[in-house]
Amino acid sequence: MATAGARTYSLSSPDSRIRIEVDTREKVNWSVFYDDILILEPSGISLTLDSFGTLGLNPRIINQESHSVDQGIQSFVPVKSSIIADKYNELVISFRGEYRIAFRAYDNGVAYRFITEIENELIIRSEEINYSFPGNYDVILTHTEGFITHQEALFREMKLSDMADSGLYFPPALVRIKGGPVLLLTEADLFDYPGTYYRKGDGYSLKGVQPGFVLKERQINDRTVIAEERADYIAETTGTRSYPWRVICIAGEEKDLLSNQLVYLLSRPLELENTGWIKPGKVAWDWWNANNISGVDFKSGINTETYLHYIDFAAEYGLEYIILDEGWCHPSDHFRVTPGMDLEAICNYGMEKGVGIILWVVWKTLDNQLEESLAWFEKLGVKGIKVDFMQRDDQWMVNYYLKIARKAAEHNLLVDFHGSYKPSGLRRAYPNVMTREGILGMEHSKWGTDANPDHNVTAPFIRMVAGPMDYTPGAMTMHTPGTSWPGSRGP
């Protein structure tokens, strides 16, 4: 548990193998040990607010409390475990300036978060996030040039010193400690706040950065809305709140990361009263095989006959859903259904066969037509929506995800966030959010070779630790070399 001395504090995991040390003298720094091996050197953390200064700098302690938790968390929709062990020790330090910092030590990781109790609305100018390592360790990261990104990139293995000085790396990120464990860096309980990226820091370190608050947007086409002007701060928010957890999953070997569920455990609990209607399942995907069907007496394509055939296929082979991807309607108007598509007949036939319908939608169109679209989908008997092309995780867009999760749940609709950022805990509060992309998936096999075997087998140990992946793990039949991807054949 926590002990104090000379304004330093120590917190151990329940099995005592992991230890956090917190130094609160000139500024708040934290460090982490595993089996008494230093795996994270003292790393500064702070939160800079307009009008309130920098929390964590010249800290003045009012109080510190510690406690232990040992309980089981039941997941109302299947995850990796039906009952998830939630066992940790926690230290919460209260500071003058109406803020606290909570630290947790689990047997398989550590985390911290800021908590403010300020009456006023706040402008968050920046958050200091540092991970300083004792050596030039191997890391596996995914790179992007900017904050407008689908977070689809190959995993890159390199030394910390080999990281690019420009560009960004998005979590989760894996660090191999020489002679010690492996670490996975990410975040949890991301609400009303921008997502985090990493840059190369001083020495052997990573530092967190977030996209600025969006002041002005510009719509490029029916699906792309860029941040044309950003503020020099990252968020506008209420003053009484908790902030995202900064998480380090810790494992003796990479294989142990597969069972790590800290992102789920550290996120806010269920906010839905009824989850009985939420049914996970397998999906037949029309876009993957370009609506090609063989051996039928009609022309395949985006038409009623093709989707009735898909429903028959799904029913015969035990697939719970089919998806109607791009093409079933005009991308800018859900109510301009493509000629030859009888959406009501398709949904009715699916209900007769016990096969649910998932509809692809452009995020911007959904936002423009939200209430009327969701009400119509529910009336048709649609079971879920695949929301695509957000490609941002500034504060506004993070709040959009929450809005869609809530509104979809009101209409008993599942949600798949495609074109998205990585999972950060939303699915625990809203388990109708079944999965999301935020990964370079095997759909890239249609037009290139970047989704290579190394990438495919790495994903479960890094990206999937954060949550489920909309990934396209394989195909029943693929095209032969030399043929174009629209020639791919499916059911």
Separation between Cα atoms, residue 172 and residue 187, nearest integer Å: 8
pLDDT at 490: 41
The CA angle 116-121-127, to the nearest 5 degrees, is 50
Q: Do residues 419 and 390 touch, judged by C-beta distance below 8 A?
A: yes
Q: Do residues 42 and 35 touch, judged by C-beta distance below 8 A?
A: no
The average pLDDT across 242-257 equals: 98
Instruction: Please give the CATH number for the structural domain made up of 283-487.
Output: 3.20.20.70
Radius of gyration of the chain (CA): 24
Q: Do residues 20 and 10 touch, judged by C-beta distance below 8 A?
A: yes
Q: Do residues 40 and 123 touch, judged by C-beta distance below 8 A?
A: no
- Rounded to the nearest 10 degrees, how much is the dihedral formed by the CA atoms of 469, 474, 475, 481? 120
Q: Across the chain, what does the average pLDDT equal?
A: 94
Is 283-487 the same fold as 3-265? no
Question: How large is the angle between the packed helices 304-317 and 343-353, nearest 10 degrees?
Answer: 10
* Residues identified as active-site: 388, 443
Q: Residue 269: how many CB atoms within 10 A of its CB?
A: 7
pLDDT at 12: 98
In CATH, 3-265 is 2.20.25.570? no
pLDDT at 482: 56
- For the chain, give every domain's residue range: 3-265, 283-487
285: helix, strand or coil: strand
Q: Do residues 223 and 364 touch, judged by C-beta distance below 8 A?
A: yes
Confidence class for position 259, pLDDT limits 50, 70, 90: very high
pTM, rounded to two decimals: 0.95
Q: Write out pLDDT tens, residues 64-112.
A: 999 999 999 999 888 999 899 999 999 999 999 999 999 999 999 999 9
pLDDT at 481: 58
Confidence class for position 478, pLDDT limits 50, 70, 90: low
Q: Write out pLDDT tens, residues 26-52.
A: 999 999 999 999 999 999 999 999 989
